[in-house]
Amino acid sequence: MSENKSAMTTEPIMQTYNRFPITITKGKGSYVWDDKGEKYLDYSSGIATCNLGHVPDVVKQSVEEQLQNLWHCSNLYHIPQQQSLAQLLVDHSFGDQVFFCNSGAEANEAAIKLARKYASNQNKKEAFEVVTFTNSFHGRTLATLSATGQEKIQHGFDPLMPGFRYLPFNDHEALDQLVQSNTCAVLLELVQGEGGVIPADQEWVNKIVEICKQHNLVLMVDEIQTGMGRTGSLFAYEQYGIEPDVMTLAKGLGSGFPIGAVVAKEHVAKAFGPGTHGSTFGGNPVVTTAGYATLNHMVTSDILPKANELSSYIVEKLQQFVDRNDDLLSIRGKGLLIGIEVKGKAIEYVEKARENHVLILVAGPNVVRILPPLTTTKQEIDHFIEKMEKVFN
């Protein structure tokens, strides 16, 4: 080791996160514990990842069994766990085929490639542009931050990748400008999570669907945060009464294990042939075991109707805060993806909540984001409301 290096006191981890001053060492259900033994109610759910709560038994048991047999297998061979999860996704969605990767950003990268390859196969060689929307968030790789309609995410990474154009979200008139000669696809969040917990307008979505069908554009729905029951149905697109051509998933699909997925209709999916895309770790036996256990529990239990009841319960309680506090402006969202717009800085409410042993998040500078696990209880919500009484007052 060089003298200069041995004298350094720099943190060995790159400082890409403003981390809260706690170290979480254990989690179960709706709670986590730090290295000092302090207990926190986690209504961030690992940013909408632990939708079944922390270390759910139904997933833990399946993963422990798989760990005894095989951890990794190249995608050059058949992986039964991957096949089972893909079939379950197909059975419970619009899709016909699935590609597995490791994260939401990778899923969106794959979707962008798929849309361009589909256009190319349709002899639309000049069609490569993907239309996205202002305040969207699709990831932090070079392609997905280029797809993201937020300058703060893109700052310092010029030149951005070409081939993306942004229209204002929920703007009906702007859709008249959606199609240009080089447009091949639309990438859309039905509830903008990072952009402020803003649901898409139904008529606006219907118009996008109509335009895409008319011009043979690939309609891609980013369900990375909204999927896996988070908004009250298994996938948010179901509530809008539409069927996209492509859907991207991650976060809640693996209950904390790193997995992403692209679900597509056959006519688009077949644009990916051997050698067009791949992933070393994508869909390995462990993560697809976790994914199967997670999804299977969601579709065979009563967790979704119960989560909708809990959503109504917590929103009603939070609305009471809004009604009597001039610093709280509105509540928005769907299911257990909840945003509270505040007058001041949202981070100040998040910090105060943490001091009261509750973990919540921001969604932009002035929106507090609340993401309870779908498995939370009315008693836990009452505990949360009791704590937030101190925060909001």
Residues 6+ apart with CB under 8 A from 165: 129, 130, 131, 132, 180, 183
Please indicate, yes or no, whether residues 249 and 306 belong to a single structural domain of this protein.
no
233 in the same domain as 113: yes
Of residues 243, 241, 288, the one with CA closest to residue 264: 243
pLDDT tens readout for residues 195-226? 999 999 999 999 999 999 999 999 999 999 99
pLDDT-based confidence at residue 7 (cuts at 50, 70, 90):
low
Residues 203 and 265 in one domain: yes
Based on the fold, state whether residues 129 and 219 are members of the same structural domain: yes
Residues 82 and 122 reside in one and the same domain: yes
Lowest-pLDDT range of 1-5, 40-44, 95-99, 329-333: 1-5
Structural domain harbouring 188: 57-300
Decide: helix, strand or coil at residue 12: coil
Instruction: Please indicate, yes or no, whether residues 262 and 293 belong to a single structural domain of this protein.
Output: yes
Quick one: tokens of 87?
């079939």
Q: Which residues pair with 218 in a beta bridge?
A: 185
Domain end point (choices 300, 330, 352): 300
Q: Are residues 13 and 29 in the same domain?
A: yes
Residue-level pLDDT at 125: 80
How far, in whole angstroms, is CA 197 from its chain's centroid?
12
User: For residue 99, what are its two tokens?
Assistant: 């590609």
Tell me what pLDDT residue 379 has: 98
pLDDT of residue 213: 97
Q: Is the pLDDT of residue 355 over 90?
A: yes
Judged by average pLDDT, the poorest of 57-66, 74-83, 93-102, 123-132 is 123-132
- Between helices 378-392 and 303-324, what is the axis angle to 10°? 20
pLDDT beyond 90 at 78: yes
Q: Using DSSP bridges, classify how beta strands 260-264 and 246-249 pair: parallel, antiparallel or unpaired.
A: antiparallel
* H-type alpha helices, 301-377: 303-324, 346-355
Burial class (CB in 10 A: 0-12, 13-18, 19+), 53: buried
Cα–Cα dist 52/45, whole Å:
9
CATH number at 123 reads: 3.40.640.10
Distance of CA 292 to the CA centre of its chain: 18
Which CATH number characterizes residue 361's domain? 3.90.1150.10
Query: E strands along the chain, which residues?
Result: 24-28, 31-34, 39-42, 97-101, 129-133, 164-167, 183-188, 191-192, 198-199, 218-222, 246-249, 260-264, 328-334, 337-342, 358-359, 361-362, 367-370
Q: Give every CB contact of residue 205 below 8 A, 6+ residues apart in sequence.
A: 188, 190, 240, 242
Total residues found in the chain within this entry: 393
Backbone angles phi, psi at 319, to 5 degrees: -60, -30
pLDDT at residue 331 above 70? yes
168 in the same domain as 110: yes
Q: Are residues 74 and 95 in the same domain?
A: yes
pLDDT at 124: 86
The encoded tokens of residue 249 equal 């998933």
Secondary element (H or E) of residue 378: helix 378-392
**pLDDT at residue 10, rounded to an integer:** 80
DSSP category for residue 25:
E
138 & 273 share domain:
yes
Listed residues 246, 271, 300: the one ending a domain: 300
Separation between Cα atoms, residue 279 and residue 107, nearest integer Å: 11
Looking at the structure of the chain, the number of domains it has is: 2
What is this structure's pTM? 0.95
Residues 203 and 87 in one domain: yes
**Where among 238, 265, 300 does a domain terminate?**
300
pLDDT of 46 higher than 60: yes
- Judged by DSSP in three states, 234 sits in coil
Structure confidence by residue, pLDDT tens digits, 297-310: 999 999 999 999 99
Task: State whether 124 and 212 are in the same domain.
Answer: yes
- Mean pLDDT rounded to a whole number for the chain: 96
